[in-house]
A and B are shown apart, each in its own frame.
Chain A
């Protein structure tokens, strides 16, 4: 029967191929979506696997997590170094690493931190960071690159790089007055770390101070020809107003010349205001004495909730303590609608593929009545003919599943560099997970189930036709 079914399909190879192709594409699509979804989630979970708490100025937990750990977006406020030092000194805290963000290098986020970051950060269930080349920065002008950054731009130890203000790839405000020298390149981790540039906290702050100085002296750090944004939106104005209130009306009235004379010595508040006016509120957070967040590892995981409560009630400034794992769950609930929509679309494509198969099998039934009558005349029962249809559908479905799986892997092989480059998603050619195998089984079962309709039709028709069908 199998040989008969195969030869029959081979006889209709064009429709067979097209039907298999439509099933293969739908299978590849649904596998691809599931693989991307699971890889994204695993990647996110791996990224935060060693961090117990993230402390930042009070704000949205998801936003804090994304900005601090994943380098996506930014937080709107900063926290003081004294706060960092007080929390880091708590007995429950095993380690604490400060984080400053808001700059980018050719679209890759720049993180200001300490050398301890490289020793404390864990990914993929506890693996530490390691250097593929060089070592951590030792001075304020040193920089460590994630693997993807180095690969993308061909950087090696000793290369000089310039960062830009803001998180976007298109830089309008380049800190080219303060280049960094690459001291190390990290091994690839499959996390957003690969797409980050790390500089020392003093170095990160210094480029903004230098920018303020240069600017207030009348020098233009963008003299190499790049344009510049002079944002004066309401947020900036609001921040400026708050700064002005804090610093007093006298500072606001100070003349530009006066500030120029004083700022080198005092790093005065007037500079801050002038800088904020030009750079926006984010820049305020880059000033010395302020960081955007701190990553915390606790001596005991059981202290997480008490620490979270302590930080939430921190008296000196409003803070948020974000539990990365819990926040990821919150993030998944936010993304679930989009994920489910994608799944639905993929399922719809699979259903369409299967309906295509049923249509193909059904459409040939009339043309094959003589074939079935011949088979009946040589001894086939209606059940044999019915089984032949189911067998053909099974062969079509199985071929579609195999072709779809191959197409899926081909797609991954072709798209993985782009996914890693553009989205930081490291999708490997791993074997199919149990869940993915379950999808294949489900599609296969659905294919067999769908084939019962034409099989039932052919059973009834074969009984009625008997051997009488003549062509």
Chain B
């Protein structure tokens, strides 16, 4: 099991009602899970809890055999850097960095990711990044060295995926990553992401309101069915 959640409850600071109330959720190694839910239902908050960004009030989140609740501060940050890759809805690339530098960012902060990337890239993380980008259709030298803000929306989204996948993290969290893409690009992107996750052996937790994506994944869950909280709010 890569991800295991037990009796998770979380309320935003100062608010009485929890936004998350999940009895149990498990995702196996290499599994691709599609979590569908309406906007504002707490999907992004769940991803934040899994990433260890927010302190959960009750329950437990186990990731790659580690109880995130037992980690504090910097240790949790480092754990996240080593084991989790995140693809955001807004791509969140650093605008002044090149495509290649954006992809290599996790390797700057995580020795584990750097070592894994180097092992898969002829000893150099950059080689692994170039190879990964080439698989995603961004192998052109002009694109590799272009600044993030010079890329098209589709290109930016694929760079964001490559950044999450570099160094083969145990878990890739994807938070509505296709909401800015049209239908054709959306399907292409999801296929690419799934292929790379499988190639890297990474588990994928993909959340979206778009039911049309469900067919691409190993398993689909309705977020409303697993989250018993009366209300949710966006992260």
Q: Which residues of A contact B (CB under 8 A)?
A: 1, 3-4, 7-8, 10-11, 370-371, 373-384, 466-468, 470-471
B105 touches A378 (CB 8 A): yes
A7 touches B48 (CB 8 A): no
Query: Chain B residues near A378 (CB, 8 Å)?
Result: 81, 86, 105-106, 108-109, 163
A466 touches B54 (CB 8 A): yes
Query: Chain A residues near B142 (CB, 8 Å)?
Result: none
In the assembled complex, the Cα of A470 lies from the Cα of B86 at a distance in Å of 14
The one of B80, B94, B163, B235 in contact with A371, judged by C-beta atoms closer than 8 angstroms, is B94
A382 touches B108 (CB 8 A): no
The one of A10, A11, A373, A383 in contact with B95, judged by C-beta atoms closer than 8 angstroms, is A11
The one of B92, B97, B101, B110 in contact with A373, judged by C-beta atoms closer than 8 angstroms, is B92
The one of A3, A377, A379, A382 in contact with B92, judged by C-beta atoms closer than 8 angstroms, is A377
In the assembled complex, the Cα of A376 lies from the Cα of B106 at a distance in Å of 10
| Listed residue (A373, A375, A377, A382) with the most chain B CB atoms within 10 angstroms of its CB | A377
Query: Chain B residues near A11 (CB, 8 Å)?
Result: 95-96
- B112's closest neighbor in chain A, by CB? A379
Interface size class of chain B, counting residues whose CB lies under 8 Å from the partner chain: 20 to 34
What are the 10 closest A-B residue pairs judged by CB atoms, nearest first? A379-B81, A379-B109, A11-B96, A381-B77, A466-B53, A378-B105, A378-B106, A374-B92, A379-B110, A467-B53
CB distance from B81 to the nearest CB of A (A): 3
Q: Known contacts A467-B86, A468-B235: does B96 contact A7 (CB below 8 Å)? A: yes
Query: Chain A residues near B88 (CB, 8 Å)?
Result: 377
Asked if B78 CB lies within 8 Å of chain A CBs, one says yes
CB distance from B234 to the nearest CB of A (A): 9
A381 touches B74 (CB 8 A): yes
CB distance from A464 to the nearest CB of B (A): 10
Asked if B93 CB lies within 8 Å of chain A CBs, one says yes
Q: Known contacts A375-B94, A468-B235: does B109 contact A380 (CB below 8 Å)? A: yes
- Known interface pairs A4-B108, A381-B109, A468-B235; 15 further A-B residue pairs with C-beta atoms within 8 A, sorted by A's residue number: A7-B96, A7-B97, A7-B101, A375-B94, A378-B81, A378-B86, A378-B108, A378-B109, A378-B163, A379-B108, A379-B110, A380-B77, A380-B81, A467-B48, A467-B53
- A465's closest neighbor in chain B, by CB? B53
B90 touches A1 (CB 8 A): no
CB distance from B196 to the nearest CB of A (A): 17
In the assembled complex, the Cα of A135 lies from the Cα of B232 at a distance in Å of 101
CB distance from A435 to the nearest CB of B (A): 40
Interface of A is mostly: helix
CB distance from A383 to the nearest CB of B (A): 7
CB distance from A241 to the nearest CB of B (A): 84
CB distance from A389 to the nearest CB of B (A): 15
Query: Chain B residues near A382 (CB, 8 Å)?
Result: 74, 77
Asked if B113 CB lies within 8 Å of chain A CBs, one says yes
Interface residues of B in 37-94 (CB under 8 A from A): 48, 51, 53-54, 73-74, 77-78, 80-82, 86, 88, 90, 92-94
The one of A10, A371, A384, A471 in contact with B109, judged by C-beta atoms closer than 8 angstroms, is A384
B48 touches A470 (CB 8 A): no
CB distance from B198 to the nearest CB of A (A): 22
In the complex, 28 of the A-B residue pairs with CB atoms within 8 angstroms, ordered by the A residue number, are A4-B97, A4-B108, A7-B96, A8-B96, A10-B96, A11-B95, A374-B92, A374-B93, A375-B105, A375-B109, A376-B53, A376-B77, A377-B88, A378-B81, A378-B86, A378-B109, A379-B78, A379-B82, A379-B105, A379-B108, A380-B77, A380-B81, A380-B109, A381-B77, A381-B109, A384-B109, A466-B54, A468-B235
Query: Chain A residues near B106 (CB, 8 Å)?
Result: 378-379
The one of A10, A374, A471 in contact with B94, judged by C-beta atoms closer than 8 angstroms, is A374
Interface residues of B in 123-178 (CB under 8 A from A): 163
In the assembled complex, the Cα of A375 lies from the Cα of B108 at a distance in Å of 10
- A4's closest neighbor in chain B, by CB? B108
The one of A7, A381, A471 in contact with B90, judged by C-beta atoms closer than 8 angstroms, is A471
The one of A370, A381, A467 in contact with B78, judged by C-beta atoms closer than 8 angstroms, is A381
Q: Known contacts A377-B86, A378-B105, A466-B48: does B92 contact A370 (CB below 8 Å)? A: yes
Query: Chain B residues near A1 (CB, 8 Å)?
Result: 108
In the assembled complex, the Cα of A159 lies from the Cα of B53 at a distance in Å of 88
In the assembled complex, the Cα of A10 lies from the Cα of B73 at a distance in Å of 31
CB distance from B200 to the nearest CB of A (A): 16
In the assembled complex, the Cα of A382 lies from the Cα of B74 at a distance in Å of 8
B113 touches A379 (CB 8 A): yes
In the assembled complex, the Cα of A418 lies from the Cα of B108 at a distance in Å of 53
In the assembled complex, the Cα of A442 lies from the Cα of B192 at a distance in Å of 55
Query: Chain A residues near B90 (CB, 8 Å)?
Result: 470-471
Query: Chain A residues near B51 (CB, 8 Å)?
Result: 377, 467
- A384's closest neighbor in chain B, by CB? B109
Query: Chain B residues near A384 (CB, 8 Å)?
Result: 109
In the assembled complex, the Cα of A259 lies from the Cα of B61 at a distance in Å of 120
- A8's closest neighbor in chain B, by CB? B96
Query: Chain A residues near B108 (CB, 8 Å)?
Result: 1, 4, 378-379
CB distance from A378 to the nearest CB of B (A): 4
Query: Chain B residues near A466 (CB, 8 Å)?
Result: 48, 53-54
- B87's closest neighbor in chain A, by CB? A377
- B97's closest neighbor in chain A, by CB? A7
- B90's closest neighbor in chain A, by CB? A470
Query: Chain A residues near B101 (CB, 8 Å)?
Result: 3, 7
B48 touches A468 (CB 8 A): yes
- B47's closest neighbor in chain A, by CB? A467
Query: Chain A residues near B113 (CB, 8 Å)?
Result: 379
- B55's closest neighbor in chain A, by CB? A466
In the assembled complex, the Cα of A10 lies from the Cα of B101 at a distance in Å of 15
In the assembled complex, the Cα of A11 lies from the Cα of B101 at a distance in Å of 14
Query: Chain B residues near A470 (CB, 8 Å)?
Result: 90
In the assembled complex, the Cα of A228 lies from the Cα of B157 at a distance in Å of 89
Query: Chain A residues near B93 (CB, 8 Å)?
Result: 374
In the assembled complex, the Cα of A28 lies from the Cα of B109 at a distance in Å of 38
In the assembled complex, the Cα of A382 lies from the Cα of B53 at a distance in Å of 12
In the assembled complex, the Cα of A465 lies from the Cα of B16 at a distance in Å of 21
In the assembled complex, the Cα of A177 lies from the Cα of B113 at a distance in Å of 94
- B51's closest neighbor in chain A, by CB? A467
In the assembled complex, the Cα of A375 lies from the Cα of B93 at a distance in Å of 9
Interface residues of B in 198-229 (CB under 8 A from A): none
In the assembled complex, the Cα of A468 lies from the Cα of B93 at a distance in Å of 15
Query: Chain B residues near A371 (CB, 8 Å)?
Result: 94
In the assembled complex, the Cα of A467 lies from the Cα of B53 at a distance in Å of 7
Query: Chain A residues near B78 (CB, 8 Å)?
Result: 379, 381
